[in-house]
Amino acid sequence: MHGFFLLYVALATVAQSLIGFAFGLILFGRVATLQVLPLTEVAVVISSLTLGNALGTLGGPKPELDASKRVKSTGLKHASDRQLPDPGDGEQQTAATRRADSARMLS
């Protein structure tokens, strides 16, 4: 019985590592479907493991971000260097302009 539970924990952990979520969903669903352990115990185990995972992630080393690599890959020195499209080309109207046009058409 406990061997199956540990297998399901390992499966849920692999899924969490690969896709970044669903540890509790997979483990709870699998255990509930096959009735390996009482669900109240499984809920406590999931909460404990999730809390431990979060504490380990938050307490672990923080990577340093190297801004020089971002600048080289994008060619931008600062976010304000981006050229945004000009909204004055007539294609985009403000909501007030559209309402005024609609009112004129109705009268």
Contact 24, 50 (CB under 8 A): yes
Return d(Cα 44, Cα 27) in angstroms, integer.
Answer: 12
Q: What is the pLDDT of residues 9-20, one digit of tens each?
A: 888 888 887 887
pLDDT of residue 54: 80
Residue 23: which of 42, 4, 1, 41 has the closest Cα? Answer: 42
List, for residues 40-94, the tens digit of each pLDDT value. 988 998 899 888 878 877 887 777 766 666 655 555 555 555 555 555 555 555 6
Hey, what amino acid is at 68?
S
Residue whose structure tokens are 């992630």: 57
Token digits for 103?
């009112």
pTM for the model? 0.50
94-107 residue pLDDT tens: 666 777 777 777 76
Cα(72)–Cα(69) distance, integer angstroms: 5
